[in-house]
Structure 1
Amino acid sequence: LNCDGDIEVDGHHSVEDIGIALGQAVHKALGDKKGITRYGTFFLPMDETLVMVSLDISGRPFLVYDAGGAMAPMIGKYDTELTEEFLRAFTFNAGITLHVKVMYGTNSHHKVEAIFKALGRALHAAVKINPETADEIPSTKGML
């Protein structure tokens, strides 16, 4: 992924646009969602931090984000508020329900890194093909 943004102003638009692009790519890659597990949850420890990410590839975008209290405003040149902006853009463009909770932790770098790693692991679990229902869409409505 390459992004040519207006980072001389700040990273907001670039981070948001990356979330939009990745969300759209996930949505497109999932197609009709036949056979996917649909749900994924992952708890990720990183030193003193523990993060939980749980998601549903539902077609109903929603984000619940709880950073677990105060975070340093910046990690190097990265504005930590942009974590929520990325997740919102990704969630709404992927068409998923996403819950992110920092259970506890003190180091902002560990919190943000654990959020993204847990998201990847939860998404990996949710998109896995369930061999028992490989030809079915995992919904009583017959569509997601």
Structure 2
Amino acid sequence: VQCTGDTHIDDHHTVEDVGIVIGQALRKAIYPVQSIERFGNATVVMDEASVTCDIDLSNRAFLVYELPIGGKVGTFDVELVEEFFRAFAFNLPLTLHLIYNRGKNKHHIIEASFKALAVALRRAVAVNENAGIPSTKGVL
């Protein structure tokens, strides 16, 4: 991903815009869902850190973000991690839960959260020919 933004002010809009664009691109690739698992989850460890991600490709936007981190990693405001995931979840859309299990190093916690999302997403889009349209309403 390459993005040029107003980082001379701060990184907020740039981080948010990247989440929006990635979410919209995946929306075009995934919806309407058919013959996929739809649900995915993963727990990823990064050294001492552990983060769990659960997702539902429900075409309904929701974010549960329980990563108790703040401050900075280098010059990056850690609060923007939540902004990325919110923009991503609401533009895909999907239901996304990110839950902190343990860890102290902010970089490791953040990296584990992104990797957990990637693994959960891979599992959710796995082809399952028996799944049909995975919804009791018949449409996603």
| TM-score bracket relative to the smaller structure | over 0.9
Runs of 4+ displaced beyond 6 Å: none
Distance, in Å, in 2 between the alignment partners of 1:130 and 1:75 is 40
Percent identity of the aligned residues? Answer: 48
Residue in 1 that maps onto 2:5: 5
Residue in 2 that maps onto 1:42: 42
2:130 match: secondary structure: helix
Residue in 2 that maps onto 1:139: 135
How big is the shift at 1:31?
A: 2.9
How big is the shift at 1:74?
A: 1.0
- Where do 5+ consecutive residues of structure 1 fail to align? none
RMSD, matched Cα:
1.0
Instruction: Indicate if the aligned counterparts of 2:64 and 2:96 stay in contact, CA closer than 8 A.
Output: yes
- Where do 5+ consecutive residues of structure 2 fail to align? none
Residue 114 of structure 2: which of 113, 116, 119 is its match? 116
How big is the shift at 1:72?
A: 4.7
Distance, in Å, in 2 between the alignment partners of 1:108 and 1:72 is 8
Residue in 2 that maps onto 1:96: 94
Distance, in Å, in 2 between the alignment partners of 1:22 and 1:44 is 21
Give the TM-score normalised by the residue count of structure 1: 0.94
Distance, in Å, in 1 between the alignment partners of 2:40 and 2:31 is 18
Residue in 1 that maps onto 2:57: 57
